[in-house]
Structure 1
């Protein structure tokens, strides 16, 4: 039996500044050829029949791999990292370091992301009862503060989440650092100097800036003030 062609044909369906930013960054870091197609969820494009035919869940990110659709950020990050093990985007499968990477990514998806969702989209938990929606949002702010404090504690004193080198986990964390500056958040956020330092290291990577510039060309979302040079031409970020 012939082996499938390598690399596979990869098409990423993403929405600007959504959690799809993480696999978008990892694809750019991988050096693999890929196409990126915007599906602006704020404009409802994820609910259009043509996208639902492709991805019935109507979610982003979605990755077409030789025509087959893979969803969920952690699945995409793991798959892409394993396509290019020489890039070191995740530790080798079967190691404790790899389990630590999944520990991080599970926490990000199940706790950090869920806390943001409680604040940004409380109706998804509270339905159409205003008093319930407001209670969900208030609890979401508390959950988010605790989740950010957990990130800060777990980062420790190493430059990156898994130690001395950049990984897919850092790309995933970078997304939610950006979200912490969203105008929909009210009240004072907990101090997060380690998280800020990590985000600044990630921001210095050319792949990250290229992807952010591409996404902001679709929808010009705001960035934290410390991330100067966000509008640099792509040619300057190679």
Structure 2
């Protein structure tokens, strides 16, 4: 009886410890370089790269991503924006030839409406990546941020912005890439279920022992 109790206690302790590990992990934020966008002299798209140096992201089965941008430009129709994982080369189109001016506290993440569905009066808020590249510089290889899950996380990431018209000079005021590791929640549940099963077996064994002792 004592041996079964010890096994039960050890199993429950393991389950509780694993559950603590499986709690949601906070996002890790990385700021990019900033500055003036290169202005196309003749209508030929010209790029400006801004980089995030990502490190310290723990291994996980999947990740959640968001990218917040503050960008000043008089005519967004001249611009295209991309996020690139430099290790894999995987590329997602964030926005392309939008109406209006400026991106103010604009956050790109999965599961949100498209920028093109907004009122055009303001791009403040959370939006899904457009994946509507007109020039396709560079070639797009991702349709959702979740496509980056299989890539190396701790590497340089690039925010690449193309300007395709002369006359308006833009500025990237800030950009923040947030990466949130998502733990193995299902494994923790399995351990808790196993602990519950063991407890039920223990109760059954206890009752059986009591019945046998009365015979």
TM-score by length of 2: 0.22
TM-score by length of 1: 0.21
Structure with more contact order per residue of length (Cα contacts < 8 Å, sep ≥ 6) = 2
**Rg: which structure is higher?**
2
Q: When you count helix as a share of all residues, which structure comes out higher?
A: 1
Q: When you count strand as a share of all residues, which structure comes out higher?
A: 2
